[in-house]
Amino acid sequence: MERIAVCLDILKLFQECDRHETGVISSKKLKEVLQGIGMTGSSCMNLLSGIPRNEDGDVNYMLFLKRVFSEEHETLRKDSLEQLRSISPLSVCSFIRDEVPLMLRADSAFMLEAVRRHSEALEFATDEIKADRDIVLTAVRKAGRALRFASHDRKAERAIVFEAVKQHGCALEFAADEMKADCDLVLEAVKQNAFALQFAKDAAKSDKTVLLEAVNRDAFALKFATDDMKANHAINLEAVKRNGFALNFVNDKMKSDSTIVLEAVKQSGWALTFATDEMKANHTIVLQAVKQAGCALAYATDDRKADHDIVLEAVKQNAFALQYASSTMKGDSTIVLEAVKNDWRALEFASAEMKADRTIIMEAVQKDRGALELVTNNDLRSDTEILKLLPEAPMQA
């Protein structure tokens, strides 16, 4: 245990010399550190013999310590592995960050086990480990978004990016730019998560196969398409069939296309809000919209709000659509009667004349006693025939 402590103390001294966290220090600086703890010059030279140096003559001090303290390193690894395996996966990252020395964060065997336990442990590995193909591959297969901690070379390796986006489509965000332009990779990403399209390069966003796959998975992926794809009739048609609200993301020309808009409002009447004024004035489109969502009448033009057929369909679907009808329609007995049959509370939006219409009041009050509060005519409020229709008041507890 004493030699392990010495090893870790030396490691800290080396780290202090390595201010830029490169993992290497000069031979001269390494000798100074060793002599500073009492070693002779000849002992330092003996320890350094056989240790590889880079082209600048610098020494990888982690490798140096592993060789000099090989037995202690093995003991430290063994003890830390036991501790790693005994804790919850949720605690792995904090354990690596707060308790594991850099020496082990540079150890491939230890870090491989760490990412098996929790993929994001890769964040706390040394740069050398973040470039280790097997370790990165293990991490991204477990959680694709761990790709963000990998080295640039691994982020540019097609096989690794493929595994990452296969597990989590939006891991595409962390891939190298050339990977984001790879149509096959992006296709795999949007299969897993349509919104991965936002991280693709235009070359992939302009690919019809990629985009169709994305909008089939989630129509809102159309938001991330290129302008030319937002003008593509087939793509837009597929998107609004999936979700009418995708009409919000098509280009202006497509918002005036009756085929596109009709399909959108069939899927969701509320999509009418994204149509052009021309489409909001189109009888067929508005009629289809209110059949699907009565209150979509709110987005129609004034002419359509005064259209008897359209308003009738709207209040059949949702009685509260009456509030968006023209004043003429609010005074139409057929329309108001249909609305209160659907929901007595719609009487609130009827004209004063309709609130005094005996037939309509009788229809409303037999549904709920509260309808009587909406009647403004005192004679009708006290009319015995109307009062007989009131449901019995609920028993007081």
Query: Is residue 318 pLDDT above 60, yes or no?
Result: yes
pLDDT digits (tens, 9 = 90+) for 86-98: 999 999 999 999 9
How high is the pLDDT of residue 324? 98
Is residue 142 domain-shared with residue 213, that is, in the same domain?
yes
Average model confidence (pLDDT) for the chain? Answer: 87
Whether 241 is in a domain gets the answer no
CATH number of the domain within which 26 lies? 1.10.238.10
Whether 188 is in a domain gets the answer yes
Whole-number Å distance between alpha carbons of 4 and 104 = 12
Query: Is residue 192 pLDDT above 90, yes or no?
Result: yes
pLDDT digits (tens, 9 = 90+) for 320-359: 999 999 999 999 999 999 999 898 889 889 998 888 888 8
How high is the pLDDT of residue 1? 46
Query: Is residue 266 pLDDT above 50, yes or no?
Result: yes
Residues 6+ apart with CB under 8 A from 9: 37
Please give the biggest Cα pair distance in the chain.
118
Residue 385: CA atoms inside 13 Å, Cβ hemisphere, count? Answer: 7
Mean pLDDT confidence for 162-175: 98
pLDDT bin (cut points 50, 70, 90) of residue 80 is: confident
Is residue 61 domain-shared with residue 137, that is, in the same domain?
no
Query: Is residue 151 pLDDT above 50, yes or no?
Result: yes
pLDDT digits (tens, 9 = 90+) for 49-60: 667 777 777 777
Whether 183 is in a domain gets the answer yes
Residue 79: CA atoms inside 13 Å, Cβ hemisphere, count? Answer: 11
Is residue 298 within 8 A of residue 270, CB to CB? The reply is no
Whether 205 is in a domain gets the answer yes
Mean pLDDT confidence for 261-274: 97
How high is the pLDDT of residue 157? 97
Q: Which of the listed residues 218, 243, 260 is the one where a domain comes to its end?
A: 218
Is residue 63 domain-shared with residue 140, that is, in the same domain?
no
pLDDT bin (cut points 50, 70, 90) of residue 152 is: very high
Mean pLDDT confidence for 226-241: 94
How high is the pLDDT of residue 129? 94
Mean pLDDT confidence for 273-278: 96
How high is the pLDDT of residue 31? 75
DSSP-derived 3-state class of residue 149: helix
Whether 254 is in a domain gets the answer no
pLDDT bin (cut points 50, 70, 90) of residue 396 is: very low
Q: Which of the listed residues 203, 218, 233 is the one where a domain comes to its end?
A: 218
Mean pLDDT confidence for 273-282: 96
Whether 386 is in a domain gets the answer no
Burial tier of 50 (Cβ tally within 10 Å: 0-12, 13-18, 19+): exposed
Query: Is residue 256 pLDDT above 60, yes or no?
Result: yes
Does residue 40 or residue 364 have the better pLDDT? 364
Mean pLDDT confidence for 296-313: 98
Whether 378 is in a domain gets the answer no
Mean pLDDT confidence for 97-105: 85
How would you label 51-69 residue by residue, b for 16+ Cβ within 10 Å and e otherwise?
eeeeeeebbbbbebbbebb
Is residue 89 within 8 A of residue 117, CB to CB? The reply is yes
Is residue 64 domain-shared with residue 135, that is, in the same domain?
no
pLDDT bin (cut points 50, 70, 90) of residue 2 is: low
Residue type (1 letter), 297: L
How high is the pLDDT of residue 395? 40
Q: Which of the listed residues 175, 192, 218 is the one where a domain comes to its end?
A: 218
Residue count of the chain, please give it.
Answer: 397
**Structural domains in the chain (count):** 2
How high is the pLDDT of residue 246? 96
Is residue 212 domain-shared with residue 135, that is, in the same domain?
yes
Whether 179 is in a domain gets the answer yes
Model pTM score: 0.74
Q: Provide the domain limits for residue 192.
A: 131-218
